[in-house]
């Protein structure tokens, strides 16, 4: 259940729909929005198992929405590992670590990463559900991150930034298992 305040604040669909409309322009499509809130790890696994069969249907397309690190005092998150240099490079290293785990497709490693670093990835739950979907489907899918950006390059603790990453998932036809 979602109360009106949460519903009005939800914006992932409104961000995706213009892009999906452009991609599928001229082709009739049915959209089935699934909003994933702050669910337990057990429910992420359960929903991933339930939805896995839809990954195996090549007529289905999935769009999962999430920002990555929200860094700064206003987000109450200022993880900084100085070995990476400036703050923005530390944020990038933190995000890339999570992105690498997502590319591997292991929901358990993703959970450990989130637990260890508390990275403020808004869509951690839908990402986890999708990783469980991939674990439970019979089609071998490969995730590849295509682009990464930050809203600003933080140099001091007075700065703030939101990270954005885009990835694509496709059928993996490689012969290695």
Structure tokens at 102: 């997502």
16 by Cβ neighbours in 10 Å (0-12 / 13-18 / 19+) ranks as: middle
Q: To the nearest whole percent, how much of the chain has pLDDT over 70?
A: 98
Structure tokens at 28: 């009739």
* Cα distance between residue 49 and residue 46, in whole Å: 5
Predicted pLDDT at 100: 97
Predicted pLDDT at 176: 52
Residue-range domains of the chain with CATH = 40-171 (3.40.830.10)
Q: Tell me if 148 sits within 8 A of 118, measured CB to CB.
A: no
* Cα distance between residue 99 and residue 91, in whole Å: 12
Which residues, 6+ apart, have CB-to-CB distance to 121 below 8 Å?
66, 67, 68, 69, 98, 114, 127
Q: Which residue has the higher pLDDT, 42 or 58?
A: 42
Q: Which residue has the higher pLDDT, 164 or 10?
A: 164
**How far is the first Cα of the chain from the last one, in angstroms, to the nearest whole number?**
40
Stated pTM of the model: 0.88
């Amino acid at each position: 259940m979602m109360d009106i305040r949460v519903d009005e604040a939800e914006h992932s669909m409104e961000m995706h729909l213009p892009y999906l409309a452009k991609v599928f322009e001229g082709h009739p499509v049915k959209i089935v929005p699934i909003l994933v809130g702050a669910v337990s790890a057990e429910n992420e696994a359960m929903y991933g198992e339930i939805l896995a069969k839809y990954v195996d249907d090549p007529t289905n397309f999935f769009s999962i929405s999430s920002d990555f690190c929200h860094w700064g005092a206003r987000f109450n998150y200022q993880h900084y590992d100085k070995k990476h240099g400036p703050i923005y490079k530390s944020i990038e290293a933190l995000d890339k670590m999570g992105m690498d785990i997502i590319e591997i497709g292991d929901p358990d490693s993703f959970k450990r990463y989130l637990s260890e670093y508390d990275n403020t990835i808004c869509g951690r739950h839908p990402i986890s559900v999708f990783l469980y979907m991939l674990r439970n489907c019979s089609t071998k899918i490969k995730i590849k991150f295509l682009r990464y950006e930050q809203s600003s390059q933080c140099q001091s603790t007075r700065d703030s930034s939101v990270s954005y990453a885009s990835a694509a998932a496709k059928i993996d036809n490689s012969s290695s298992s």
